[in-house]
């Protein structure tokens, strides 16, 4: 018998604000968080817009002497984990520490520190490179710092699967609990690569929107006038627990996690497979793992990045899996408001699914003014919708053809 797994904590740091409450409120209001870049001077770059966190106060989460040992992506991940643990109320003790683990990944990692210390090396020499440079940049140190912060001694791992990172992290953690390896997991994704090199690299790929004159309108999934995604930063972390443990300690349960699918397109380093074949198979695997039929799904939090082929192929994939039921589904892309958080997106969007189920309301897809004729499903334009959700699915599809899907169910 597989053990049941529930979500008891949600921690978010997003371009709509630090803290789950601020982020959730902004999402329901349909508030855009994309602005002209302030982290550095973007002059000369074709893309000068991004979704930056407006109010992150690092001193609230990390002591000053510890801050210099970590890149910003670790700062954000540690903050989101702290918020998730506070929300959950899970206490780590000598008796349970070995049964609690961490999987928090990133798609890119410590890009800002890499850029900074490359300049230090060139201008001042190797002796001026910080001894913390390596630990502040490698992806698994978010999980490591979280483990140290809370004293959890169970599985300690990290995922780096581009835009599917957060979803894979949660799915892998789900399986560890389901099969008895752990009783609770702190899991999700984090990212902070709004840097000159990060923006320049994605711009060179023609992946980013260059709607610099109207940043708040730039992220427009499923709209025929979309011209690329908008880079965001942030972190989304969940606390997952074995159901009986959570019930016995009186925890608030947002939703149950019931299915996980993962596969590969085996097609191209950046483009999705034709006709959405890989994405469709991934959703099918998640449905099979959860033991449910396509007709039982009520809501999809779409990958929906605001790229031409990505949005069209995800639409095709949904139609392939759900058939006539596809037109009855409520679907939205919350990236329309907060941009694409890359490795953090799946963690944030999993939290959104759990909150949507718990609060019986779905955030919208904003900027969907002129729907692409190829994207003809109910993508919930402009306004949130009250909705009783029994089962929801969250999609994440990453560079390298890596796909991940999670299925959430109303807890009963």
- Report pLDDT for 1: 78
**Residue 325 catalytic?**
no
Domain ranges of the chain: 1-412
The percent of residues above 90 in pLDDT, for the chain, comes to 99
**Residue 163 catalytic?**
yes
Alpha carbon separation from 192 to 53, 107, 112 (Å, rounded): 10, 10, 8
Q: What is the pLDDT of residues 129-184, one digit of tens each?
A: 999 999 999 999 999 999 999 999 999 999 999 999 999 999 999 999 999 999 99
Q: How far is 210 from 46, CA to CA, in rounded Å?
A: 6
Torsion sign, CA atoms 384, 22, 303, 228: positive
Q: With 90 as the cut, is the pLDDT of residue 389 above it?
A: yes
Q: What is the pLDDT of residues 228-281, one digit of tens each?
A: 999 999 999 999 999 999 999 999 999 999 999 999 999 999 999 989 999 999
Judge whether 392 and 297 are in contact, CB under 8 Å.
yes
Q: What is the pLDDT of residues 100-138, one digit of tens each?
A: 999 999 999 999 999 999 999 999 999 999 999 999 999
Torsion sign, CA atoms 243, 245, 247, 250: negative
CATH T-level assignment (fold) for domain 1-412:
Peroxisomal Thiolase; Chain A, domain 1 (3.40.47)
Beta-ladder partners of 299: 330, 392
Q: How far is 278 from 400, CA to CA, in rounded Å?
A: 12
Exactly one of 75, 168, 193, 340 is catalytic; which is it? Answer: 340
What mean pLDDT comes out for the span 21-32?
98
Exactly one of 303, 330, 375, 405 is catalytic; which is it? Answer: 303
**Residue 303 catalytic?**
yes
């Amino acid at each position: 018998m597989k053990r049941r797994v529930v979500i008891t904590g949600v921690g978010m740091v997003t371009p709509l604000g630090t803290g789950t409450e601020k982020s959730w409120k902004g999402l329901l209001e349909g508030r855009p968080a994309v602005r002209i870049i302030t982290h550095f001077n973007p002059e000369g770059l074709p893309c000068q817009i991004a979704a930056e966190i407006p109010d992150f106060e690092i001193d609230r989460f990390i002591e000053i002497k510890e801050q210099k040992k970590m890149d910003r992506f670790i700062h954000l991940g540690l903050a989101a984990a702290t918020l998730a643990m506070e929300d959950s109320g899970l206490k780590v003790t000598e008796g349970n520490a070995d049964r609690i683990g961490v999987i928090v990944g990133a798609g890119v990692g410590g890009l800002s520190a890499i850029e900074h210390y490359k300049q230090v090396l060139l201008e001042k020499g190797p002796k001026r490179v910080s001894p913390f440079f390596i630990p502040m940049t490698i992806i698994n140190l978010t999980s490591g710092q979280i483990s140290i912060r809370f004293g959890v001694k169970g599985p300690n791992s990290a995922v780096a699967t581009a835009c599917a990172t957060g979803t894979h992290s949660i799915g892998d953690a789900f399986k560890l609990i389901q099969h008895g390896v752990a009783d609770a997991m702190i899991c999700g994704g984090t990212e902070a690569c709004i840097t000159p090199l990060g923006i320049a690299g994605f711009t060179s790929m023609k992946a980013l929107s260059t709607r610099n004159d109207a940043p708040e309108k730039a992220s427009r999934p499923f709209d025929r006038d979309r011209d690329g995604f908008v880079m965001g930063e942030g972190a989304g972390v969940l606390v997952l627990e074995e159901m009986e443990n959570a019930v016995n300690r009186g925890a608030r349960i947002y939703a149950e996690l019931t299915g996980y699918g993962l596969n590969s397109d085996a097609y191209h380093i950046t483009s999705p497979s034709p006709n959405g074949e890989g994405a469709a198979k991934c959703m099918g695997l998640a449905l099979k793992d959860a033991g449910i039929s396509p007709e039982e799904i009520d809501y999809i939090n779409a990958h929906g990045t605001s790229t031409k082929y990505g949005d069209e192929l995800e639409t095709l994939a949904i139609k392939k899996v759900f058939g006539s039921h596809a037109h009855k589904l409520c679907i939205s892309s919350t990236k329309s408001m907060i941009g694409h958080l890359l490795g953090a997106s799946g963690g944030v969007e999993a939290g959104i699914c759990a909150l949507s189920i718990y609060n019986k309301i779905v955030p919208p897809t904003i900027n969907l003014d002129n729907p692409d004729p190829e994207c003809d499903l109910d993508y919930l334009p402009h306004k949130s919708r009250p909705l009783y959700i029994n089962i929801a699915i969250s999609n994440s599809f990453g560079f390298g053809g890596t796909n991940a899907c999670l299925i959430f169910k109303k807890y009963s």
